[in-house]
Chains A and B, each alone.
Chain A
Amino acid sequence: MSDPTQLTMTPPAVGTPFQKAGFRRRLLRRPTTLLALAFLALLFGLAVFAPLATGHDPLGGGDSALLEPLSPGHWLGTDDLGRDIWARVVYGSRISLTVGVLSALIAVVVGVVVGALAGYFGGWLDTLLMRIAEFFQTLPRFVVALIVIALFGTSVLKMIVVIAALSWPQLARVVRASVAALAQSQFVDAARVAGMGHGAIIVREILPNVAAPIIVLGSLDIAMAILIEASLSFFGLGDPNHVSWGAMLNDAQQYLRSAWWMSAFPGLAIALTVLSFNVFGDALNDALNPRGPK
Chain B
Amino acid sequence: MSSFILRRLLHAIPLLLAVVVLNFLLIAFTPGDPITLLVGDFPAPPEYLDQMRREFGLDQPVWVQLLRYLAKVAQGDFGYSFANQQPVATLILERLGATLELTLTALAFASVMGIVFGVVAARAASRPGRGLVDSAIQGTSSAGYAIPDFWLGQLLILVFAIWLGWLPSQGNNPVRGTLPGFDGFVQHLSYLVLPALALSLRYLTLITRITRAAMLEVMNADFILASRSRGASEWTVLVVHALRNAAAPVLTVIGYNVGFVLAGSALIEAVFAWPGIGRLLYESISKRDYPVMLAILLMVSVTVVIANLVTDIVHRWIDPRIERA
Contact = CB atoms under 8 A, between A and B. Distances in A.
Do these two chains really belong together in a complex?
Answer: yes
Interface of A: 1-2, 4-5, 7-8, 131, 134-135, 138-144, 146-148, 150-153, 223, 227, 230-231, 234-237, 246, 249, 252-253, 256-257, 260, 263-264, 266-267, 270-272, 274-275, 278-279, 282, 294
Interface string B1-25: 0000000000000110011001000
Given A256-B162, A294-B216, A143 B151 contact: no
A138 B308 contact: yes
B148 A267 contact: yes
A278 B271 contact: no
Contact of A4 (B162, B253, B288, B301): B253
Contact of A139 (B146, B206, B270, B304): B304
B79 interface: no
A294 B26 contact: no
A147 B293 contact: yes
A217 to B, nearest CB: 16
A139 B301 contact: yes
A231 B150 contact: yes
B319 to A, nearest CB: 15
Interface in B273-299: 281-282, 285-286, 288, 290, 293-294, 296-297
B263 A271 contact: no
Contacts of B259: 1-2, 138, 140-141, 143
Interface of A, helix, strand, loop or mixed by DSSP: helix
A192 to B, nearest CB: 30
Nearest to A131: B14
B213 interface: yes
Interface string B118-151: 0000000110000000000000001101111011
B155 A263 contact: yes
A140 B304 contact: yes
B256 A4 contact: yes
B196 interface: no
Contacts of B270: 234-235, 253
17 contacts: A2-B257, A4-B260, A7-B253, A8-B209, A138-B19, A139-B304, A144-B297, A147-B296, A152-B30, A152-B31, A230-B148, A234-B267, A235-B285, A253-B270, A267-B147, A271-B146, A275-B143
Contacts of A253: 154, 270-271
A256 B158 contact: yes
Nearest to A277: B146
B10 to A, nearest CB: 13
Interface residues of B, number: 60
Contacts of A150: 285, 288, 293
B262 interface: yes
Nearest to A230: B148
Given A134-B15, A138-B305, A143-B266, 18 more contacts: A4-B256, A8-B213, A140-B262, A140-B301, A141-B263, A147-B296, A150-B285, A152-B31, A234-B267, A235-B267, A236-B286, A253-B270, A256-B158, A256-B169, A260-B162, A274-B146, A294-B126, A294-B216
B256 to A, nearest CB: 7
A135 B154 contact: no
Contact of A231 (B169, B267, B297, B304): B267
B297 A143 contact: yes
A148 B145 contact: no
A152 B271 CA distance: 25
Contacts of A134: 15
B300 interface: yes
Contact of B142 (A141, A256, A270, A279): A279
B169 to A, nearest CB: 8
Contacts of A279: 142
B249 interface: yes
Contacts of B257: 2, 4
Contacts of B285: 146, 150, 235-237
